[in-house]
A and B are shown apart, each in its own frame.
Chain A
Amino acid sequence: MCYDNYMKIKIHYFASLRENIGRSEDVIESQTESLTVKQAWQQATGLPELQDDLLIAVNQEYTSEDVLLSDGDELAFFPPVTGG
Chain B
Amino acid sequence: MTSRKVIIKKSTFDPWQEQEAYQAQSMQGQTSYGATASFIGTMRHFNEGDEVAAMELEHYPKMTEKQLNLIIVTAEKKWLIQNTLIIHRVGKILPGEPIMLVAVWSAHRAAAFDACRYLMEELKHRAPFWKKEQLVTGDSRWVEKNTDGYE
Contact = CB atoms under 8 A, between A and B. Distances in A.
Interface in A41-62: 55, 57, 60-62
Interface residues of A, number: 17
7 contacts: A12-B60, A14-B58, A60-B67, A82-B143, A83-B99, A83-B100, A84-B127
B46 interface: no
Could you tell me the dominant secondary structure of chain B's interface residues? mixed
B60 A78 contact: yes
A84 B130 contact: no
Contacts, number: 74
- The contact size tier of chain B is 20 to 34
Interface of A: 12, 14-16, 55, 57, 60-62, 76, 78-84
Contact of A82 (B66, B67, B120, B146): B146
Closest 6 CB pairs of A and B: A83-B129, A15-B130, A60-B63, A84-B124, A82-B143, A60-B66
B123 A82 contact: no
Nearest to A14: B60
B125 interface: yes
Given A14-B128, A15-B58, A80 B145 contact: yes
